[in-house]
Structure 1
Amino acid sequence: MSNNSLNPLYFQLTLFSDYGPLRYLFFSLCLLVYMTIISANAVIILTVFLEKSLHQPMYIFICCLSLNSLYGSAGFFPRFLMDILSDTHLISRPFCFIQIYVIYTYASNELTILGIMAYDRFVAICQPLHYHSKMTFRMVRHLLGFAVLYPAFACGLCVYLSVRLPLCGNKLHRILCSNWSVVRLSCVDTTVNSIVGRILTLTTVFLPLLFVLYTYLHILLVCSRSSSEFRGKALQTCLPHILTFVTFSFSLFCELSLSRLEAHQVNPFVIVVLSLEFLIIPPINNPLVYGLNLPQIRGVVFSSCIKTSHKTKTLLFRSKALLEYVDFICTHD
């Protein structure tokens, strides 16, 4: 068997179809979604970065969620938009593994960040007197370092084990590259990949999920013994995080279930929808939930919009006055 057949230079994404002129409509809609993701998350990042009153652990973690959304979207949308317009849907072997690494680290980063956000809320509600001594900026740096470095190492190991496999095919029944879809093409035994994959899934997915559930169980117990005013304030700060956590967990569960099923067992439309849900809904949901539900961020955003609108009106008024003055001078010369 030739080296190229064992290590194909390209993978073919087989779920793309020729929709004729409709491709331009799909392209426009997906481009609009991508621009919305970039704009919404950029607003959150700039708001937290520029407003000094938001330089607190909770808002720093929210900013990191938005940065991670931009990172994950950049690993999917540019290539996806090209594929919509293309007649051939081939992706080079190196770029396929890069896409796998980016998307998997995006998913893992999201869970670890949600985990440290749950810890932040746990300390703030259950141990309020120790919050400032525990959630120092040094601790925030350490938590964020762990939230980024561990997924980078875990996903790097997973991708490395897949890269070294000899492959007996190049067709992926997906609209994007996924690790298990590539592993299934292997000509040799993949027991090591399967075991390592399950261990890493346990540590990067299920442990953060269990930790979040554990922290919120304690928060509920504390709230049940507290006043209604305290419960209201706790709910106001925890509700956005709960909504984000539930949305992302559902999307991730669908993606994990999808990756383990045989291609012929699932309708192609379902595969496309679940793949897009995993990469579209959380990046849009995060800035909307935090931007609309947290009064601190909402207030700063609205205030900035009002100031920008006022400056624009002032600039337009001055420009109009200047034009009228120039016109007056010209007519009297």
Structure 2
Amino acid sequence: MMDNVSVITMFTLSGLSGTNNYRVILFALTLLCYCVIWLVNLTIIVTIIVDKKLHEPMYIFLCNLCINGLYGTAGFYPKFLMDLLSTTHVISYVGCFLQAFVLHSSVCADLSLLALMAYDRYVAICRPLVYHSVMTKQRVCMFVFFAWLIPFYLVFMSGVINSRLRLCGSHIPKIYCVHWLIGKLACSASIANIAIPAFNYTFYCSHFLFIIWSYVYLIRTCLKSKEKRAKFMQTCFPHVFCLLSFVVCVLFDLLYMRFNSKPLEQSTRNFIAIEFLLIPPMINPVIYGLKLTQIRNRIIPFLTSPD
């Protein structure tokens, strides 16, 4: 029926209001950050793909984490750069849902991949004798496949539910589209629009709790052995750092978006909104490249070797 079809064809993004005076500086800094994100992530990806010695579960998961970093940022930076050069900040109906899908699925895939990396380290350190029988190539491929498929499916279903809502507005107070803000524009709420996001949040909160449990267990186990403690610091420290940076950045944005009882300056709100699209994709590959010996030993000779 036509009552369920939205007549909205464009959305207005108001996050960049008041940035006219320093738009060029913002464009230059944003473009620089995006180039750095591509450089550091591609370096890790290419290093792992080219070197067969790095075709191990930990590095395969890391490679996918970097690919996901490029995938998620591709849903934001090109549109954001165009908005910085434009006086009108609008996005099409389809474009808004596509951007929301990319950003949401990227965040969910990040949690899935971080959970797999935590599980891999748990098996490697706590059950080393069965590691190769547990983390077989077939099982690793299956893990990676579902780490991408499940987020895509869950976020797609959430997007389908939102697309069926009849919208009574087109103003999004942010610099990019998210499903929750699109849902707030609905003329009336539906049970499915509440139940599916609630299930998604619960499902990925369980991922986070599993990661926390696994690292707490790893720390308790490693304290009993000097050898295991050294292995934890070498291979698990980057995972813990990446997890903390990712979770803190995402939580800041989610909590402010839902409980913004004290309005902040627009520039502060924008920084909170893009933290998870700036800090983890840029810092994570650098931390892994510096901390993981096998990757560092392959990148540094390549960068320092003469032509």
Percent of aligned pairs with the same residue? 36
Equivalent residue number for residue 287 of structure 2: 289
**Residue by residue, what CA displacement relative to the aligned partner does 1:246-299 show, whole Å, maximum 9, x if unpaired?**
110111111221332358845433320111102111100111110111111111
Equivalent residue number for residue 57 of structure 1: 57
In structure 2, what is the Cα distance between the partners aligned to 1:96 and 1:279?
A: 17
Check whether the contact 1:173–1:263 (CA below 8 A) recurs between aligned residues: no
Equivalent residue number for residue 300 of structure 2: 302
**Residue by residue, what CA displacement relative to the aligned partner does 1:221-267 show, whole Å, maximum 9, x if unpaired?**
211222x2331122211100000011101111112213323588454
Equivalent residue number for residue 84 of structure 2: 84
Equivalent residue number for residue 255 of structure 2: 257
**Counterpart residue identity of residue 222, structure 1:** T
Matched ranges for 1:96-135 at <5 A: 96-135=96-135
Check whether the contact 1:69–1:283 (CA below 8 A) recurs between aligned residues: yes
In structure 1, what is the Cα distance between the partners aligned to 2:262 and 2:180?
A: 15
Check whether the contact 1:18–1:87 (CA below 8 A) recurs between aligned residues: no
Equivalent residue number for residue 190 of structure 2: 190
1:23, distance to aligned residue in structure 2 (A) = 1.3
Equivalent residue number for residue 137 of structure 1: 137
TM-score by length of 2: 0.95
SS at match of 2:165: coil
Equivalent residue number for residue 157 of structure 1: 157
Residue 8 in 1 paired to residue 8 in 2? yes
**Residue by residue, what CA displacement relative to the aligned partner does 1:148-199 show, whole Å, maximum 9, x if unpaired?**
1110110001111101101011000001001111111111223431222111
**Counterpart residue identity of residue 215, structure 2:** Y
In structure 1, what is the Cα distance between the partners aligned to 2:121 and 2:164?
A: 42
In structure 2, what is the Cα distance between the partners aligned to 1:211 and 1:185?
A: 34
**Counterpart residue identity of residue 123, structure 2:** V
Equivalent residue number for residue 319 of structure 1: none
**Residue by residue, what CA displacement relative to the aligned partner does 1:30-80 show, whole Å, maximum 9, x if unpaired?**
000000000110000010011111111101111111100000010000000
**Counterpart residue identity of residue 254, structure 1:** F
Most deviating of 31-40 and 267-276: 267-276
Residue 46 in 1 paired to residue 46 in 2? yes
Check whether the contact 1:162–1:183 (CA below 8 A) recurs between aligned residues: yes
Gaps of 5+ in 2: none
Equivalent residue number for residue 24 of structure 1: 24
Equivalent residue number for residue 243 of structure 2: 245
In structure 2, what is the Cα distance between the partners aligned to 1:6 and 1:161?
A: 12
**Counterpart residue identity of residue 92, structure 1:** S
Check whether the contact 2:6–2:164 (CA below 8 A) recurs between aligned residues: no
Equivalent residue number for residue 167 of structure 2: 167
In structure 1, what is the Cα distance between the partners aligned to 2:128 and 2:237?
A: 18
Check whether the contact 1:183–1:190 (CA below 8 A) recurs between aligned residues: no
SS at match of 1:131: helix
In structure 1, what is the Cα distance between the partners aligned to 2:237 and 2:262?
A: 39
Most deviating of 103-112 and 22-31: 22-31
Check whether the contact 2:48–2:63 (CA below 8 A) recurs between aligned residues: yes
SS at match of 2:28: helix
SS at match of 1:86: coil
TM-score by length of 1: 0.88
Change (3 A) 1:262 1:166: farther
Residue 223 in 1 paired to residue 192 in 2? no
In structure 2, what is the Cα distance between the partners aligned to 1:270 and 1:278?
A: 14
In structure 1, what is the Cα distance between the partners aligned to 2:159 and 2:294?
A: 40
Gaps of 5+ in 1: 312-333
Change (3 A) 1:106 1:82: same
Residue 274 in 1 paired to residue 280 in 2? no
In structure 1, what is the Cα distance between the partners aligned to 2:194 and 2:267?
A: 27
Check whether the contact 2:250–2:275 (CA below 8 A) recurs between aligned residues: no
In structure 1, what is the Cα distance between the partners aligned to 2:100 and 2:153?
A: 14
Equivalent residue number for residue 327 of structure 1: none
Most deviating of 232-241 and 108-117: 232-241
Give the aligned CA root-mean-square deviation in angstroms.
Answer: 1.7
Larger radius of gyration: 1
Q: How many residues align?
A: 305
1:96, distance to aligned residue in structure 2 (A) = 0.2
Most deviating of 237-246 and 5-14: 5-14
In structure 2, what is the Cα distance between the partners aligned to 1:125 and 1:19?
A: 50
Check whether the contact 1:27–1:84 (CA below 8 A) recurs between aligned residues: yes
In structure 1, what is the Cα distance between the partners aligned to 2:265 and 2:304?
A: 48
